[in-house]
Each structure stands twice: as structure tokens, then as C-alpha cells.
Amino acid sequence: MLNFKKIFSWGAPSGRASYAGNFRQQAKFSCLPPQLCFKSAPLVPRGCGLSAATVKPSSRLLTIKMNSIIPHPLTPASKLLYLGVAFLCLVFTACSNKAYLFTSFHEPATDGLRMLYSYDGYKWKDTDTVLLKPEIGNQKVMRDPSMVQGPDGTYHLVWTTSWRGDKGFGYASSKDLVNWSAQKMLPVMQHEPTTVNVWAPELFYDDEGKQFVMIWASCIPGRFERGIEADSNNHRMYVTTTKDFETFTPTQLFLDPGFSVIDAVIVKRAKADYVLVLKDNTRPERNMKVAFSDSPLGPWKNVSGKPFTENFTEGPSVVKPGKEWLIYYDSYDKKIYDAHSTTDFVNFKHITNSVNVPQGHKHGTIVPVTKKQVKNFLKLVKK
């Protein structure tokens, strides 16, 4: 990688610049989002020895070439220009460190945890490896795996262990995503004996409260008003918090929007600014909506009346690789993974043709990491 500190040495008081590298070098920097990439080349006048151009719009790469000895003495304008390009390179270098993991499972959910990875948040690859086989719960399955990385670097994982009958969900932790702790059941609905199920637990790290927030959907027959769906399929969202996954706050009702709701995910936009992406599970809806709050624990307001997806959609996962938020979700009737983008969670754009999700992938959580973390993970997987 090109290091501008090694290229330029500014002489005082003459302002002369000398070139300290080879006569021809090239550096590539990830550019996210693509609209931030330079559209034309050269960036600076010919003959000055410095040019910049994108390789391809789709590659999200900024290529900077040092072609010759930098002329000197530099004029004040040239000096500012070179410094400006150096600053841009630092920005793009920072962007290039981003990467993402996407927890996954394949039907019939008996194999266990799988993992996708991406360097841009749009194009995903499957490691094609089972990382953790489910061992707990009535059915011993792993559905809806949700993962978050804590401040100490530990990955925490929760998942659905059975369609019906369990009063909790599974939990395990890992430092490297390959070697996992013993699995244990978190009996979050044990106090409600008529609970039908505990579905799609979702993890969120509250950096302001310095705690982990866990939400999930459960059905307690006769507890809430329902639509045309069966009383045994009338869900609401519940919540508990923990700092260490050993002690937990008492389970509380998290969301009752007046309809059956499942598959909710908390998104932090800024301090005291949160969005909840959720599935309206009533018949005939079964689509995705949003709600808003100034706290990750709610209360949640302004639940959208109009969905932003078609019917028969569920399992949202949200990531922000650039200026736009991307919402991935399972269009289970079409048997594909769909995606929308948004900047405000009010207006949405269908972008499925711009993303690539491996076939067979099912409901998981996207975790922002670094390229180094992904590369280390892939090395361990290949061993």
C-alpha cells in the first residue's frame, strides 16, 4: 500500500518536495459507497506525476499511480493539491478496512450455524462450512442465528431452538467464530407456562447503556387481541438485558403494536435515534414495517401503516456500508433473498438486482467487522 508519509518530504523554507519511493507505484483503496469514487482521470494536470482514476465503477476501487519524479519547487496551489489527494487517500484507506459477516442457516436447520462474508455489504460469499451444530432444545435445530460482537471482541450468538415447546432460546460465545463455548438454554419465558414458542431472538449491543439487549417473539394464547390468525399464532415482542450473559433483567413486553409481530431488529441511527424493522405477521399482511424510538428499549412509535415490502416477507437484517441503509429480508414465497435501500426509513428503493446473496441462505444478522477479522476467520475455517 502506498504510504504518503514516505512519498513526500516537505523542505523548509523553500517548500521543495522530494520523492522517496520507486518511480512507479500503485495503490488501491476500497471506496464505499460507489458514488464517492472519482468519476474521471486524471485528477491532477498531466506532467505533475500524480494521477487518479477508478478501475471500474462496480469494483469500488480508487487507483492512485505515482508515475514520475514530482516536480519542484512546488507552487502553493500544487502543494495544496497534493495534500488534498493525500487526505483523500487516508479517507479511502479507512473505508477499505470495512467488512461484514452474515450469520446464516440452511433448511431444515438441523446442520447448524453457517456464515457469509462481504467486503462491501452488497456481494456475499458463503464459507460453505458448519461452524456450530445445535445440541439443545426440544428439536435441536438452529434457526434465525443472531450475533453481535461485544466491546471485548467476543462474539455472542443466540438462536431459535424449536418451532414450539421451548421456553427459551440457545446461546453460545466465541472469540474466533470457530471454537465455541458450551451451548446453553436461556429460559426467558419460563415464567409464562402457556407460552407456545420463542422465535427469532435478536441481539443488540446498547453502547450507551453498556448492555446487551435481547428481543424475541412469543405467543401466549388469550393474552392479546388478534386478527384472523389462530390464537396460537398471535405474537408479541419481549425483551431482557444482560451485561455478562449470566444474570438477566426480568422479561418485559417489548412491543405490542396491536397486531401479531415477529422478526424485529433494532437499528441505531444516532444518539437517541433508533429504528425498529419488524414483520407484521397478521393475515393477510405478513410483510415488513418500521417503528421509531429515542431508546433501544422503546417505547416504539409511528409504526408504519404501509409496508415497504410485498407480502410473504420476513427475517430483516440491516447494514449501512455507505450513505444508505440496506435491509435484507427473506421473500419466502419467491424463494429468494430480497433487499431494499433507504436513507430515512420512510422512502425505500428495491435493490435486489444490486446485491448477491448465496442460494439457501436464511434469516441471520449482519455484523460489521474488519477485513483482518474476516481474513483471520477464513484462515481458521480452511484449516
Q: What is the DSSP letter of 72?
A: S
pLDDT at position 61 is 39
Asked if residue 121 lies in contact with residue 324, where contact means CB atoms within 8 angstroms, the answer is: no
Q: Which of 10-14, 111-115, 317-321 has the lowest mean pLDDT?
A: 10-14
Residue reference for cell 462450512: 129
How many CB atoms are located within 10 Å of the residue 369 CB? Answer: 19
Which SS3 state, helix, strand or coil, does residue 274 take?
strand
Q: Burial code of 189-200, b = ≥16 C-beta within 10 A, e = fewer? A: beeeeebbbbbb
Q: Across-strand partners of 28?
A: 63
Q: Is pLDDT at 1 greater than 60 in this prediction? A: no
Q: Is pLDDT at 280 greater than 70 in this prediction? A: yes
Sequence-distant (6+) residues with CB within 8 A of 7 are 19, 20, 21, 66
Asked if residue 176 lies in contact with residue 147, where contact means CB atoms within 8 angstroms, the answer is: no
pLDDT at position 76 is 65
Around 227, how many Cα atoms within 13 Å sit in the side-chain half-sphere? 14
List the one residue out of 363, 342, 340, 362 whose CA is nearest residue 351: 340
Amino acid identity at 262: I
Which SS3 state, helix, strand or coil, does residue 283 take?
coil
- Report the share of the chain in percent with pLDDT over 70: 75
pLDDT at position 116 is 98
How many CB atoms are located within 10 Å of the residue 215 CB? Answer: 25
Asked if residue 255 lies in contact with residue 236, where contact means CB atoms within 8 angstroms, the answer is: yes
How far is residue 327's CA from residue 338's CA, in Å, rounded to a whole number?
Answer: 8
Q: Which residue has the higher pLDDT, 383 or 231?
A: 231
Cis peptide before 201 (omega within 30 of 0): no
Domain parsing of the chain, residue ranges: 4-95, 98-382
Asked if residue 311 lies in contact with residue 286, where contact means CB atoms within 8 angstroms, the answer is: yes
What pLDDT, in 10s, does the model give residues 298-355? 999 999 999 999 999 999 999 999 999 999 999 999 999 999 999 999 999 999 999 9
Q: Is pLDDT at 11 greater than 60 in this prediction? A: no
Asked if residue 211 lies in contact with residue 193, where contact means CB atoms within 8 angstroms, the answer is: no
Q: What is the mean pLDDT of residues 99-118?
A: 98
Kindly report the pTM of this predicted structure: 0.78
Cell of 101: 459477516
Q: What is the mean pLDDT of residues 82-91?
A: 53
Q: Burial code of 316-337, b = ≥16 C-beta within 10 A, e = fewer? A: bbbbbbbebbbbbbbbeeeeeb
pLDDT at position 95 is 53
Local confidence band at 383 (pLDDT 50, 70, 90 cut-offs) = confident
Distances (CA, A) of 82 to 4, 14, 52, 88, 240: 10, 16, 12, 10, 53
- Report the share of the chain in percent with pLDDT over 90: 73
Report how far Cα 304 is from the mean position of its chain's Cα atoms: 23
What pLDDT, in 10s, does the model give residues 164-221? 999 999 999 999 999 999 999 999 999 999 999 999 999 999 999 999 999 999 999 9
pLDDT at position 226 is 87
How many CB atoms are located within 10 Å of the residue 210 CB? Answer: 9
How far is residue 377's CA from residue 358's CA, in Å, rounded to a whole number?
Answer: 19
**Rg, Å, the chain Cα set:** 25
Report how far Cα 20 is from the mean position of its chain's Cα atoms: 40
Local confidence band at 227 (pLDDT 50, 70, 90 cut-offs) = confident
What pLDDT, in 10s, does the model give residues 47-74? 333 333 333 333 333 333 433 334 445 5
Q: What is the mean pLDDT of residues 146-161?
A: 98
The mean predicted confidence, pLDDT, of the chain is: 83
Local confidence band at 7 (pLDDT 50, 70, 90 cut-offs) = very low
Provide the CATH topology of domain 98-382.
Answer: Tachylectin-2; Chain A (2.115.10)
Q: What is the mean pLDDT of residues 143-150?
A: 98
How far is residue 226's CA from residue 235's CA, in Å, rounded to a whole number?
Answer: 9
